[in-house]
């Protein structure tokens, strides 16, 4: 519909017509079509007709304006522009005002008789103000057209460490007890408590075996830990053997004892 | 925190964030450093001055502070973009202007002044761009939606608030009682600013 | 083109482009303004100096020039993306506790004790956190992974070794009253603190 067509340079800039309008009607039809399509609606056309005569809106010379408006509407029809109903509504309003203006004024009676044009004049004034607003918006700096907001890329984000959660040791212990309690309720079997340090040492030995396929038994002992440390390491080794997590190999009596990962092939065979 | 360090951090921060940062956001950000509002504003002002003559500038818009390229460079910078920035139709601009200048406003009000029915496409575009939103209903039969502009609208046009919109004539006084009802929101809008 | 304008345009350009811009790209960009290589390099050098002490700096990298935030500010800037500390679920805590107290342990062991399956997400979270790692496989069909706690785990809880984990009282005899059973560990927790 023509009312929503993009405004063309032939139309208005800051509310003023840029081109001289079809005073004589000998404009090539294509150009005329452009002009007609450039009106954003009947108010736009009406305003144009008034401004063309360099008149003030309040003077609204209803007779000639109505006539010209009808001519334009006829041209639009002729050019088979898809004529918006809105143009016809305005034509009806103009016709109504015209007829009321032509009626003889009732004598005396009302001082508060309202000029039939008044409402249309008010609308035209407001429309003109808004046209001005639209033109000013268009001229304001626009993002992407006149400037770009800046967002620098940064790799700082990659350096970000995961935030530390907030877990206390007590919570952990509690969670363990709860897990055990659940286990007992569900399975009715006693979960044995074992020396923690032994379990830790078991992990450490397994971890060591991740890096080397074989380690000497001596390597699991640390002299600095003293007797107790050695005992813990030894118990851990025995526990690992018992749980079939490692293998202990001694090639001949009194030679070095080696700990190694269980060979996968074994597992497959036993499987 | 040293003032010099605060200035550098603030500057870097405003360069890397996608959205403008408000005073409140910045104060919250620098809370660990116990930066006062007075310090913050002083440093922001210094930065603004530092960049006054540069190719990028510190701009205060509705939703906060941001760096943006100097407006006068528009053409030379936009060469960078393959696509031309959108040109908005007269119909869209008039609708937007009505909402901006006369908010809160109903679709009926817009149609009355423009003399054309408002295309749904235009309202959709304006809402998708985040420039316009529904802020309520007018308590008349049908409870039509009332539209107003958003801070994204102001940000887009580099404005801090509606009072920075270029002035246009006030809406003319209504004639009849029925028209008067339609006029009230326009007056309210001026107050809202 | 005036040198001042070139400097502003160049500056703005380097700020808006996502990728670094090489000398060749910049020369091509300013071809309409007939900027010489000598001019370009001089202006780039000026910009580099202008920003030497600022929060962002002009850096020359392999593929060209770009602005980037000052390295020293990494910590303060990264707060922008800092997430809130996660809150861990009971399931995760119990899994972690079982790994800590019963390591090395397989997922199957954990599931057997807890009576429910252990979600992969939990194992992933614990490993990403760096608290838990795979230390081997149990040589049984399927070769399930054996999990153990790490030294980061000990560090986080300020423990020297696992023997410092709070002692858990001998698990209570199975009770009919499940509520009572659940109560016991709670009391234990208070003692530990």
The string of pLDDT tens digits covering residues A216-265 is 887 877 767 766 777 788 888 888 888 888 888 777 766 777 888 876 54
A162 pLDDT band, cuts 50/70/90, is low
- From chain C, the residues in CB contact with B56 under 8 A are 11-12, 15
So what's the pLDDT on residue B187?
Answer: 38
Q: Would you give the DSSP letter of residue A80?
A: T
C186 pLDDT band, cuts 50/70/90, is very low
From C168, A124, C179, C26, select the one nearest B114 (Cα to Cα). A124
Q: Are B64 and B110 members of one domain?
A: no
C77 touches B13 (CB < 8 A): yes
Please indicate, yes or no, if residue C126 is contained in any of the structural domains: yes
Q: Which structure tokens are listed for A32?
A: 């005329």
How far is CA C74 from its chain centroid?
14
So what's the pLDDT on residue C4?
Answer: 87
Helix (H, G, I), strand (E, B) or coil at A156: helix
Q: C18: Cβ–Cβ under 8 A, 6 or more apart, which residues?
A: A153
Is the Cα torsion angle C106, C111, C114, C119 positive or negative in sign? positive
Q: Are B49 and B106 members of one domain?
A: no
Please indicate, yes or no, if residue C24 is contained in any of the structural domains: yes
Number of Cβ atoms within 10 Å of the Cβ of C138: 21
Please indicate, yes or no, if residue B66 is contained in any of the structural domains: yes
3-state helix/strand/coil string of A102-141: HCCCCCCCCCCCCCCCHHHHHHHHHHHHHHHHHHHHHHCC
The string of pLDDT tens digits covering residues A136-148 is 999 999 988 888 8
As a whole-number percent, the residues of chain A with pLDDT over 70 amount to 70
Name, of A114-128, A177-191, C173-187, the range with top average pLDDT. Answer: A114-128
Q: How many residues does chain B have?
A: 193
Q: Does A271 touch chain C (CB under 8 A)?
A: yes
- To test the contact with chain C by mutation, choose from A144, A174, A232 the residue with the greatest count of C C-beta atoms within 10 A, namely A174
Percent of chain A that is helix, strand, coil (3-state, to 5): 55, 5, 35
- From chain A, the residues in CB contact with B10 under 8 A are none
Q: Are C70 and C97 members of one domain?
A: no
- From chain B, the residues in CB contact with C29 under 8 A are 79-80
3-state helix/strand/coil string of C79-146: HHHCCCCCCCCHHHHHHHHHHHHHCCEEHHHHHHHHCCCCCHHHHHHHHHCCCEEEEEECCCCCCCEE
pLDDT top residue among A174 and B111: B111
**Alpha-carbon distance B39 to C19, whole Å?**
34
Interchain pair A143, B155: CB under 8 A = yes
How far is CA A160 from its chain centroid?
24
Name the one residue in this structure whose structure tokens are 């379990």.
A199
List beta partners, residue C136.
C146
So what's the pLDDT on residue A29?
Answer: 67
Please indicate, yes or no, if residue C69 is contained in any of the structural domains: yes
Q: Would you give the DSSP letter of residue A206?
A: H
B71 touches A147 (CB < 8 A): yes
HSE (CB half, 13 Å, CA atoms) of C57?
Answer: 14
**Alpha-carbon distance B109 to B69, whole Å?**
37
Which one of B17, B29, B77 has the shortest CB-CB distance to C9?
B77
As a whole-number percent, the residues of chain C with pLDDT over 90 amount to 43
Q: Are B61 and B114 members of one domain?
A: no
ipTM: 0.69
Region of poorest pLDDT, from A116-120, A218-222, C10-14, C111-115: A218-222
- To test the contact with chain A by mutation, choose from C171, C186, C191, C193 the residue with the greatest count of A C-beta atoms within 10 A, namely C171
Which one of C69, C82, C165 has the shortest CB-CB distance to A154?
C69
Q: Are B100 and B124 members of one domain?
A: yes
**Alpha-carbon distance B130 to B123, whole Å?**
11
Region of poorest pLDDT, from A56-65, A129-138, C90-99: A56-65
Q: Are B110 and B160 members of one domain?
A: yes
HSE (CB half, 13 Å, CA atoms) of A185?
Answer: 16
As a whole-number percent, the residues of chain B with pLDDT over 90 amount to 70
So what's the pLDDT on residue A187?
Answer: 55
Residues on B contacting C at a C-beta cutoff of 8 Å: 7-13, 15-17, 29, 53-56, 67, 69-70, 73, 76-77, 79-80
The string of pLDDT tens digits covering residues B47-102 is 999 999 999 999 999 999 999 999 988 778 877 776 777 889 999 999 999 999 99
Q: Which residue of A has its CA nearest to B72?
A: A146
Distances (CA, A) of C83 to A239, B31, C152: 42, 16, 20
So what's the pLDDT on residue A106?
Answer: 63
Mean pLDDT value across chain A: 75
For residue B49, the enclosing domain spans: 3-75
Q: Does A236 touch chain C (CB under 8 A)?
A: no
**Alpha-carbon distance B7 to C73, whole Å?**
11
Q: Are B19 and B54 members of one domain?
A: yes
For A184, list phi and psi in degrees, rounded to 5: -70, -40
Q: Are B18 and B47 members of one domain?
A: yes
So what's the pLDDT on residue C58?
Answer: 94
Q: What angle do CA B56, B58, B64 make, to 5 degrees?
A: 135
C153 touches C131 (CB < 8 A): yes
Please indicate, yes or no, if residue C64 is contained in any of the structural domains: yes
pLDDT top residue among C37 and C176: C37
**Alpha-carbon distance B124 to B98, whole Å?**
16
Q: Are C102 and C59 members of one domain?
A: no
- From chain B, the residues in CB contact with A142 under 8 A are 85, 156-157
User: Is 60 exceeded by the pLDDT of residue C172?
Assistant: no
Q: CB burial class (10 A; 0-12, 13-18, 19+) of residue A115?
A: middle
The last residue of a domain, from among B50, B75, B100: B75
Please indicate, yes or no, if residue C99 is contained in any of the structural domains: yes
So what's the pLDDT on residue A186?
Answer: 60
- The CATH number covering residue B52 comes to 1.10.10.10
So what's the pLDDT on residue A111?
Answer: 55
Q: Does A164 touch chain C (CB under 8 A)?
A: yes
So what's the pLDDT on residue A53?
Answer: 81
Helix (H) or strand (E) holding A15: none
What is the arithmetic mean of pLDDT over A159-180?
Answer: 75
So what's the pLDDT on residue A131?
Answer: 94
User: Is 70 exceeded by the pLDDT of residue B164?
Assistant: yes
A86 touches A3 (CB < 8 A): yes
- To test the contact with chain A by mutation, choose from C104, C109, C167, C170 the residue with the greatest count of A C-beta atoms within 10 A, namely C104
B16 pLDDT band, cuts 50/70/90, is very high
Q: Which residue of B has its CA nearest to C81?
A: B17
User: Is 60 exceeded by the pLDDT of residue C191?
Assistant: no
Q: Does C113 touch chain A (CB under 8 A)?
A: yes
Total domains in chain B come to 2
Please indicate, yes or no, if residue B62 is contained in any of the structural domains: yes
A81 touches A97 (CB < 8 A): no
A202 touches A240 (CB < 8 A): yes
What is the arithmetic mean of pLDDT over A44-70?
Answer: 87
User: Is 50 exceeded by the pLDDT of residue B190?
Assistant: no
Instruction: State the virtual CA torsion across C125, C131, C135, C139 in degrees, nearest 10.
Output: -50
- From chain B, the residues in CB contact with C67 under 8 A are 15
User: Is 60 exceeded by the pLDDT of residue C169?
Assistant: no
pLDDT top residue among A21 and A173: A173
Q: Are C123 and C154 members of one domain?
A: yes
Residue numbers of C between 48 and 77 with CB closer than 8 Å to A: 56, 67-69, 73-74, 77
Instruction: State the virtual CA torsion across B176, B179, B184, B189 in degrees, nearest 10.
Output: -130
So what's the pLDDT on residue A5?
Answer: 41
So what's the pLDDT on residue C82?
Answer: 75
A90 touches B115 (CB < 8 A): yes
User: How far C113 CA lies from chain A's nearest CA (Å)?
Assistant: 5
C165 touches C158 (CB < 8 A): no
A72 pLDDT band, cuts 50/70/90, is confident
Region of poorest pLDDT, from A65-69, B182-186, C111-115: B182-186
Q: C116: Cβ–Cβ under 8 A, 6 or more apart, which residues?
A: C91
To 10 degrees, what angle do helices B177-192 and B107-114 make?
Answer: 110
Which one of C74, C170, C171 has the shortest CB-CB distance to A156?
C74
From B160, B82, B95, C69, select the one nearest A144 (Cα to Cα). B82
What is the arithmetic mean of pLDDT over A52-58?
Answer: 83
pLDDT top residue among C177 and A33: A33
Helix (H, G, I), strand (E, B) or coil at A197: helix
- Residue A108, by phi and psi: left (phi above 0), alpha (psi -120 to 50) or beta? left
The string of pLDDT tens digits covering residues A89-131 is 999 999 999 888 887 766 555 555 678 888 899 999 999 999 9
- From chain B, the residues in CB contact with C76 under 8 A are 9, 13
Which one of A38, A42, A118 has the shortest CB-CB distance to B116?
A42
So what's the pLDDT on residue A172?
Answer: 78
So what's the pLDDT on residue A180?
Answer: 78
Please indicate, yes or no, if residue B179 is contained in any of the structural domains: no
What is the arithmetic mean of pLDDT over B10-39?
Answer: 93
């Amino acid at each position: 519909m023509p009312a929503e067509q993009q405004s063309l340079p032939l139309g208005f800039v800051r509310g003023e017509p840029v081109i001289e309008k079809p005073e004589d009607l000998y404009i090539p039809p294509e150009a005329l079509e452009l002009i007609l399509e450039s009106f954003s609606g009947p108010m736009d056309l009406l305003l144009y007709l008034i401004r063309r005569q360099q008149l003030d809106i309040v003077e609204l010379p209803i007779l000639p304006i109505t006539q010209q408006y009808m001519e334009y509407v006829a041209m639009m029809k002729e050019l088979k522009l898809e004529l918006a109903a809105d143009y016809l509504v305005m034509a009806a309003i103009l016709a109504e005002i015209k007829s009321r203006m032509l009626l003889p004024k009732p004598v005396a009676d009302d001082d508060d008789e309202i000029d039939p044009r008044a409402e249309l004049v008010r609308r035209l004034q407001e429309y003109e103000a808004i046209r001005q607003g639209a033109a000013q918006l268009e001229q304001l700096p626009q993002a992407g057209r006149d400037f770009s907001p800046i967002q620098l890329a940064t790799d700082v984000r990659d350096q970000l460490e995961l935030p530390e959660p907030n877990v206390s040791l007590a919570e952990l212990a509690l969670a363990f007890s709860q897990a055990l309690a659940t286990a007992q309720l569900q399975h009715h079997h006693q979960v044995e408590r074992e020396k923690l340090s032994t379990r830790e040492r078991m992990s450490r030995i397994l971890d060591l075996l991740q890096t080397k396929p074989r380690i000497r038994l001596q390597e699991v002992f640390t002299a600095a830990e003293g007797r107790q440390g050695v005992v813990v390491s030894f118990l851990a080794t025995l526990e690992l053997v018992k749980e079939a997590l490692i293998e202990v190999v001694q090639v001949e009596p009194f030679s070095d004892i080696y700990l190694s990962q269980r060979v996968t092939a074994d597992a497959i065979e036993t499987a | 925190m040293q003032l010099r360090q605060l200035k550098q951090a603030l500057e870097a921060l405003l360069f890397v964030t996608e959205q403008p940062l408000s005073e409140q956001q910045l104060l919250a950000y620098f809370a660990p450093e116990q930066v006062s509002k007075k310090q913050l504003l002083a440093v922001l002002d210094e930065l603004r001055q530092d960049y006054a003559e540069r190719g990028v500038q510190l701009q205060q818009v509705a939703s906060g502070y941001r760096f943006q390229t100097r407006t006068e460079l528009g053409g030379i910078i936009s060469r960078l973009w393959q696509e031309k920035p959108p040109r908005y139709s007269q119909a869209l601009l008039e609708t937007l202007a009505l909402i901006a200048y006369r908010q809160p406003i109903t679709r009926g009000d817009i149609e009355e002044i423009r003399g054309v029915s408002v295309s749904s496409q235009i309202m959709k575009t304006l809402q998708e761009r985040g420039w316009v939103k529904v802020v309520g209903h007018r308590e008349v039969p049908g409870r039509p939606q009332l539209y107003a502009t958003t801070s994204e609208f102001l940000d887009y046009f580099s404005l801090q608030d509606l009072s920075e919109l270029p002035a246009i004539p006030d809406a003319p006084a209504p004639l009849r009682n029925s028209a008067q009802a339609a006029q009230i929101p326009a007056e309210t809008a001026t107050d809202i600013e």
